[in-house]
Amino acid sequence: MLLRIVHRTRYRYHAAIDLAQHMVHLRPVDTPTQQVLQHELRIDPEPAARSNTTDVFGNQRTFFSLQSHHAVLTVEADSLVSTHAPEPLPLGPPWRGMSWERVREHFRYRALAPFDPASEFLFPSPYAPRDDHFADFARPVVKPGLPALEAARALMEHIHTELTYETDSTEVNTPAVEALEQRKGVCQDFAHIMIGCLRSLGLPARYVSGYLLTRPPPGRPRLIGADASHAWVSVYVPLAAEGNDNENEKENDSAAGGAWFDFDPTNNRCGWGSPGEDYVTLATGRDFGDISPMRGVIQSGARHTLSVAVTVAPPDELAELASITPA
């Protein structure tokens, strides 16, 4: 599937400013299920300096500084991405032999054990802190002995069923525990809740930001700029040798490798590499704070008004793309 994504962010300042520093995560990453064919980041006013770097998680990010008098800042990312249907979850051998308890033991600290990079996603993070509420919520569906992938899928379905998606029911800084207690939120909340639950069980989980192709209702035209960014979860499962039940050999499971599997609790979809062909992965991190689309500092006390417009569609449907305006 060929998808074009235009993500426009506009800040209107109540008083003009002269100095600002910003960082954006707006370039999709290349993965086994997607390839970035084109990408352009347009910034107005023109930055005094800009640089592209790769962060510690492998995401592409851009830093830029502004040193000119301006009352409006517009940042528009325009990407063309080729996506492929992911493989379904591999629920047979050898993955089936990795129960969620065995994955937990794999990541339990042992002196001189080889480092597994996925272990970085076991620990609490600002948006997904350690809290007993997460474990209590997960325990009824994550049964003892359940294969790790089936446990993650059961948890995804549990969140999708028990929580209500409700726009504006939370804010970007709403704690995940609060969203869990009120049983409603948006995709960011669903993702942070699932991450908190998985980590409470000792399973590594990371936050994925990206986009999802949506279709307008029958008979309605596509509204340019009416889409939104999306969020879901990746879970890491190490691959052990089939039939490996020897405790000493379990310590060497990491030598066999492993894989990340994606779960979208908002839409109850999952797959190996992405939840579906209609998804585009932007970045991955411990939680939203690591990979927010845009952040920065300004030398001013001026307040601002933020508007964001996102369009995700096949290129041939975007003849009006040049006239996109923020909602």
How many Å apart are CA 21 and CA 66, to the nearest integer? Answer: 6
Confidence tier at 240 by pLDDT (50, 70, 90): low
CATH code linked to domain 95-288? 3.10.620.30
Confidence (pLDDT) at 254: 41
Tokens of 271: 């797959």
pLDDT digits (tens, 9 = 90+) for 152-182: 999 999 999 999 999 999 999 999 999 999 9
Confidence tier at 227 by pLDDT (50, 70, 90): confident
Q: Which of these, 49, 3, 4, lies nearest to 22 by C-alpha position?
A: 49
| Cis before 45 (ω within 30) | yes
Residues facing 73 on adjacent strands: 11
Confidence tier at 193 by pLDDT (50, 70, 90): very high
206: pLDDT strictly greater than 60: yes
Confidence (pLDDT) at 215: 81
- The residue that leads in pLDDT, 126 or 246, is 126
Confidence (pLDDT) at 190: 98
Domain coordinates in residue numbering, the chain: 2-83+291-319, 95-288
How many Å apart are CA 12 and CA 14, to the nearest integer? Answer: 7
- Range name among 11-20, 138-147, 287-296, 309-318 with the lowest pLDDT average: 309-318
43: pLDDT strictly greater than 80: yes
222: pLDDT strictly greater than 70: no
Q: Which of these, 285, 119, 134, lies nearest to 201 by C-alpha position?
A: 134
CATH code linked to domain 2-83+291-319? 2.60.40.2250
Q: What is the DSSP code (8-state) at residue 82?
A: E
